[in-house]
Structure 1
Amino acid sequence: MRTMTRFGQSLLVASAVAAAMPVVAQELHAQRVAPEQLSNQWLLLNRDVAVDVPNSGVNIYKPSCIAVTYVIGSDGVPMNVQVAKMAPPSDLGKAAVSAVSNFRYGPSLTNKNHMPAATYYIIPFNAPDDPAQRAQVMAPCKLPGYSES
């Protein structure tokens, strides 16, 4: 078995850093956009997504919400998808991340340059059908710090 030289190791690290730069640059230049305003920049293209839902776990049958933050890259694909808030705590975080990771977006007419956007999405689990009760379940997952305009 051959061992890698210091030069080879340095070259490997430099290649990895260079490959990550476009993603980091997109995240740094992404404007924070409230979910209600996202359609001004990006339009969700798919209506159905595959979700990995566990068969058992903590609070998976209880009405709950999970706020997932992410950046829509210039290619319309979510990146850096993370659970930001969960109410009540449950084992549904991975399901929420898998759902948002499968979203695909197209630029709106006002986003011809495909500018990245940082936003969040609230996923309700087992929420009631009644709009007022559903809004009550989702309210604890609203995140501050995203522009409303």
Structure 2
Amino acid sequence: MSKKRWFRLYIERWRDGTFGLTPNEIAAYITLLCELYDHDGILIRADLDLLARRCGMRPTSFRKAFETLTRRGKLTLDGDVITSKAVSEEIESRERLDGKSAENRQKLAEKRNTINEIKQRLPTDTESRIQNKDSSFLQPAGHSPAIQNFIKRREIARRRSV
């Protein structure tokens, strides 16, 4: 059984692909697609009578619908194995997307870990002020360089006198 319990349904492709099919053929087709997706794209030892019951159809009606679907290339019957090219392609596409998503999640986790490690190594703002004994955080922003130099010299003088 597949881990994925869903599949993408492109409305326009479905509408165009089922144009001209009878309601029985459409019912058989969607049920068989669901079965194929549920079994990773391959139905081995397919029992047509069981599939007919699954579709809620009489075996003769199901066989007629199934023959139409295989004749139109929607499904392939090889011995007792049923496959679908569209289902196989979609499963491959989904696996590629899952692989890319997993890679992206891994890269994002690595970046977050790196950032967290850097943050842990950096002192907090308060710690750095205490370590540097810098009172520049008390200085109002926007002073000219001359005033900033004056404040700095005054702070140095204050430290010496203490």
TM-score range for the pair, normalised by the shorter chain length: under 0.3
Structure with bigger RCO (C-alpha 8 Å, 6+ apart): 1
TM-score, with length taken from structure 2: 0.25
The structure with the greater share of residues assigned to strand is: 1
TM-score, with length taken from structure 1: 0.26
Structure of higher CA gyration radius: 2
